[in-house]
Every structure is written in C-alpha cells, then in structure tokens.
A = this chain, B = another copy of it.
Amino acid sequence: MVNESMVNESMEQRIREVAQELFFRQGYAATSTTQIAREVGCTQALVHYYYRTKENLFRQIYLEQVEAALNVIARSLANEQSFEDFLRSAISTYFDTLMQNPRLPYFVLEELVSNPERRRYLRENFVKKPAYACLYMQLEARVRHEQQAGRMARVETFDIMMSVASLTVFTFISLPMYRDLLAQTDEQVRQYILHRKEEVTRLVLQGLRP
C-alpha cells in the first residue's frame, strides 16, 4: 500500500490518496477513518485533524472525480469533425479514460443512487450551470442538422446520450462479474474491453443509420 512515490509527500496528501483508493474500492459506508489511518501509517486522529469529518474528506474526493469526469465529457463534445467521427472518438475516449480508472463509474454511481443529498448537490453545481445546458443544446443542434440532411435516423439526442452512457458505463460496472464469474485473466479482461469498445461503436453508429 505504501509505495516509494509517497514518502516525500505531506501527510495531508497521503491521507487523501489512501482515502481515495479505499473509497473507490469499498465505498463510503464500508470505509472507516481508522482503516484509512492504518493504511497511511498514522493515527486516526490525524485524519480528522486535516479533514475534520469523514464526510468532508469524502466530498472533496468525490467532487474532484465527478468534475474530472464531466470535463472529459465536455471536451469530447467540442469536436469539429463529422458527426460520425465525433461519435467514434467520443466513445473511444470514454472507454480509454475508464480503462485507466475502471472503478470510477461504480464509485460515482453508488453514491448518486444511495444518497439523495449527492444528487441535490450535483443538480445545484452542475446540471443548473449554463455551461452544461449550452453544451447539450449545441449537441442537439448538430443532431438536428444531421437529421435534416437525411444522414441520420430520427432519434432523440437524449436517447443517443443514454444509450452511449448505458453501453459504456455498464461495461465497467459489470467488470468484476466478468472477471470472476468467467474466471478471466487481466489480459483477457483488457482484450474484452477493447472488443466491447468496437462493438459499442458499431451498434451506436448502426442505430443512427436512416
């Protein structure tokens, strides 16, 4: 757990990194500040000295991750290529990003599903932000443009988003089951993800054919 790159960091930073790893693996409820301290190699009091409450420590980590994820999505939407190439590269980016961080979807989802407070917070801080509403409207405009040019079936923008999200996110959420139930090695899992990326891309694009 304690690796070389950590030794010169501040305690505050080390606590945060260990906490993040444990929250990712186990979720909020199943992770205690005692366990965080044990894995850092300090006392439990120190965790509270820096972050006061467990909730506070978690919120900082959580919001940082959500923000990073939303930025990946936002960047993918600002794309000047043809709509088909834009979709290809967006899906590819989502898969590649999540391969680096396969636990992220479940981490974000778990708290969002089981904690209404987090949904409220997300709505106030992101959904209501004009920047995000603007991005959605730009996407919708592109979809309408494609449809009027007869290059795309009459599918709603929201449905495209939901289908892409479903197919991408579920791939990573179900990964522990794929690995365990089918007894796969790391390399087999990697190949499987790359395979799903291709198939998801194919399915989504085929679904938009007129």
A: which residues have CB within 8 A of B?
A: 26-27, 29-30, 106, 109-110, 112-114, 116, 119-120, 122-123, 127, 155-156, 159, 162-163, 165-167, 169-171, 173-174, 176-177, 180-182, 195-196, 199-200, 202-204, 206-207, 209
Contacts of A169 in B (CB 8 A): 166, 170
Query: Does A207 contact B196, Cβ atoms closer than 8 Å?
Result: no
Query: Does B110 contact A110, Cβ atoms closer than 8 Å?
Result: yes
Give the docked Cα–Cα distance between A174 and B165 (Å). Answer: 10
Question: Within the oligomer, what is the number of copies of this chain?
Answer: 2
Query: Does B167 contact A123, Cβ atoms closer than 8 Å?
Result: no
Give the docked Cα–Cα distance between A204 and B166 (Å). Answer: 13
Give the docked Cα–Cα distance between A196 and B162 (Å). Answer: 9
Partner of A114 from the list B27, B162, B170 (CB cut-off 8 Å) is: B27
Query: Does A112 contact B199, Cβ atoms closer than 8 Å?
Result: no
Contacts of A166 in B (CB 8 A): 166-167, 169-171, 174
Partner of A163 from the list B122, B177, B203 (CB cut-off 8 Å) is: B203
**Nearest chain B residue, comparing its CB with the CB of A126:** B181
Partner of A203 from the list B27, B120, B180, B203 (CB cut-off 8 Å) is: B203
Query: Does B206 contact A209, Cβ atoms closer than 8 Å?
Result: yes
Q: Which of A119, A166, A174 has the most CB of B within 10 A?
A: A166
| Minimal beta-carbon separation of A192 from chain B (angstroms) | 9
Query: Does A180 contact B26, Cβ atoms closer than 8 Å?
Result: no
Give the docked Cα–Cα distance between A170 and B122 (Å). Answer: 19
**Nearest chain B residue, comparing its CB with the CB of A176:** B113
Give the docked Cα–Cα distance between A102 and B169 (Å). Answer: 18
